[in-house]
């Protein structure tokens, strides 16, 4: 598998053609001023069209940037959000058949009694077809577009170089942890294109949320699924936005149910569907809500769930100090945070909320404002918080679309109050106390031995001894430097040799050879220069 999930140094030979193509597209879309350090950025529409032209990975990256209001002005965010509605041409049925048969090892006609050649939907990663299994089960088949692995691996390798170049020319970008964001994006996209992982997520959601009334999640047909093909029960319902137009009287109750389900998933189970747009939420004939497409999901540990509950409660109560402390609990790895400035910024955020009509308050916008405040003051926001913020933004946009005048914040307040009360329940306090006592007992048992071992190492002089891995790493660095020196001498020879041919005013093919040698040497120098960014 050719996926690049870690930002390790890739081969320049592999990324050079793609890198030069990207640079050409950037110049075409008026990024030249920014590339030359003139701080002149192209119009928002040009930025969106750039991501569209660069294809799947960059289109998805643009969608991720659309969540980062702490990085970009509102005009650019609004334009990048249009990437979520990007239309792509459908694969023909021959390509679909080839993908399914290669993935499952069985002819399509053997797997399915019927298979509709016209897709129900076509997206950047996959398209969906309606089908019937040989046992008569009504299903939908999600088929991945071919060649994504190699494309994603090459594009992520290229992105690492582009981010490094950006940080080299614009040092202020280092405050935004762009390499970390690219790494998280790589992990997220690789997960989204692994349908076997999505199948496992669906099984987990169905198991954990089985007791939640009013919710239906389709079952996975495992024998007709793989890493690139996913077969699910057919959702015999209607998109929630279309259902709302025909049944406006039941929508307030559906909204309350959806809010309760989402908050219970997030804060009680630590799982959440991260893309609750209208196309992924259906209403079944019996009135239950159906959640579809689990390619983008999030998981939260207990500590983060507790911090989020306290954060939401503080936002609703407009308690800036409590909100600041809860927010910092979400990002414990942050160093050098300007707490005083962060508190002032969060007070400003909550002041805007307090002076608004409570029914108009947006949890997603509040979280988004916190992300901006945190980034300004040295907080390294965890990827889960970005994903959760996006989830709330999409969910609230859906709720406003379904019933613009409905006070869905009342459902938020009611559910948060219930969750807070649950956190302070006697059973939960007893469980936390028992866990704390166990940890203290383990610390008391282990501390004397650990202390003796540490003192023995100090007495023996072993504490700061250089270990073998360090020596090996030093050798690798020397080897890389020698390799770079050799390559530099080679490209320098090309440039000098070509220049001599041009100076001598040689005619014919010798003149062309001189030009080729100079250009090749300059390209080689550029590649070597870029490659040193990750040494």
Residue 244 — φ and ψ, nearest 5°?
A: -65, -35
Dihedral of CA atoms 321, 322, 327, 333 in degrees, nearest 10, equals 80
Instruction: Please indicate whether residue 301 is annotated as part of the active site.
Output: no
Average pLDDT over residues 518-530: 65
Q: Which of 197-211, 317-331, 332-346, 510-524 has the lowest mean pLDDT?
A: 510-524
Q: Give the torsion sign (CA, 103, 106, 107, 110).
A: negative
- Residue of 275, 293, 345, 368 with catalytic role: 275
pLDDT at position 153 is 81
Query: Is the pTM above the cut of 0.75?
Result: no
Residues 6+ apart with CB under 8 A from 120: 127, 128, 129, 130, 140
pLDDT at position 465 is 47
pLDDT single digits (tens) 359-383: 667 788 888 888 888 888 888 888 7
pLDDT single digits (tens) 153-180: 888 888 787 777 777 766 766 666 677 7
pLDDT at position 423 is 58
Residues 6+ apart with CB under 8 A from 131: 112, 114, 115, 116, 139, 140, 141, 231
Average pLDDT over residues 336-350: 89
Residues 6+ apart with CB under 8 A from 122: 88, 89, 90, 91, 128
Residue 415 above 60 pLDDT? Answer: yes
Rg (C-alpha) for the chain, rounded Å, is 28
Tokens at 412, concatenated: 């938020």
pLDDT single digits (tens) 262-306: 888 888 888 888 888 888 899 999 888 999 989 888 888 888 888
In order of 260, 263, 349, 489, the CA distances from 411 in angstroms are 7, 10, 22, 69
pLDDT single digits (tens) 439-478: 545 545 555 555 556 556 555 655 444 444 444 454 455 4
Q: What is the DSSP letter of 231?
A: E
Which helix (H) or strand (E) element contains residue 127? strand 126-133
Percent of the chain beyond pLDDT 70? 68
């Amino acid at each position: 598998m050719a996926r690049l999930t870690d930002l390790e140094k890739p081969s320049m030979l592999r990324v050079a053609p793609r890198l030069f193509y990207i640079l050409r597209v950037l110049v075409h879309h008026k990024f030249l001023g920014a590339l030359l350090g003139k701080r002149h950025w192209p119009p928002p529409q040009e930025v969106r069209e750039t991501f569209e032209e660069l294809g799947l990975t960059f289109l998805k990256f643009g969608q991720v940037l659309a969540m980062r209001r702490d990085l970009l002005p509102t005009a650019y965010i609004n334009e990048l959000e249009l990437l979520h509605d990007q239309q792509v041409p459908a694969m023909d049925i021959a390509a679909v058949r080839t993908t399914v048969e290669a993935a499952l090892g069985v002819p399509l006609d053997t797997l399915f009694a019927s298979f509709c050649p016209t897709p129900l939907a076509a997206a950047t990663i996959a398209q969906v077809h309606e089908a019937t299994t040989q046992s008569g089960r009504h299903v939908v088949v999600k088929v991945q577009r071919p060649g994504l692995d190699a494309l994603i691996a090459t594009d992520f390798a290229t992105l690492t170089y582009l981010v490094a170049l950006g940080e080299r020319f614009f040092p202020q970008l280092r405050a935004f942890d762009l390499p970390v964001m690219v790494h998280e994006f790589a992990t997220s996209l690789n997960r989204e294109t692994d349908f076997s992982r999505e199948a496992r997520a669906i099984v987990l959601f169905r198991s954990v949320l089985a007791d939640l009334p009013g919710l239906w999640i389709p079952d996975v047909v495992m024998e007709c699924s793989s890493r690139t093909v996913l077969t699910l029960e057919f959702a015999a319902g209607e998109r929630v936005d279309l259902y709302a137009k025909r049944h406006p009287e039941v929508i307030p109750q559906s909204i309350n149910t959806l809010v309760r389900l989402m908050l219970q998933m997030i804060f009680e189970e630590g799982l959440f569907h991260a893309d609750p747009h209208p196309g992924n939420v259906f209403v079944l004939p019996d009135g239950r809500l159906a959640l579809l497409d689990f390619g983008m999901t999030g998981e939260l540990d207990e500590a983060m769930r507790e911090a989020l509950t306290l954060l939401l409660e503080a936002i609703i109560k407009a308690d800036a100090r409590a909100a600041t402390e809860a927010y910092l609990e979400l990002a414990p790895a942050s160093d050098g945070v300007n707490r005083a400035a962060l508190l002032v910024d969060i007070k400003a955020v909550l002041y805007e909320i307090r002076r608004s009509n409570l029914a108009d308050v947006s949890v997603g916008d509040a979280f988004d404002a916190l992300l901006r405040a945190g980034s300004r003051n040295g907080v390294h926001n965890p990827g889960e918080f970005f994903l959760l913020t996006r989830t709330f933004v999409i969910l609230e946009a859906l709720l406003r679309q379904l019933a613009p005048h409905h006070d869905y914040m009342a459902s938020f307040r009611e559910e948060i109050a219930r969750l807070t009360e649950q956190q302070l329940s006697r059973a939960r306090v007893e469980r936390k106390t028992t866990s704390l006592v166990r940890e203290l007992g383990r610390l008391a048992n282990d501390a004397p031995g650990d202390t003796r071992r540490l003192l023995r190492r100090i007495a023996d002089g072993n504490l700061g001894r250089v270990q073998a891995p360090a020596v090996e790493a030093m050798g690798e660095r020397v080897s890389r430097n020698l390799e770079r020196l050799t390559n530099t001498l080679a490209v320098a020879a090309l440039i000098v040799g070509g220049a001599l041919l041009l100076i001598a005013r040689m005619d014919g093919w010798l003149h062309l050879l001189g030009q080729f040698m100079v250009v090749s040497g300059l390209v080689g120098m550029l590649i070597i220069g870029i490659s040193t960014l990750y040494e």
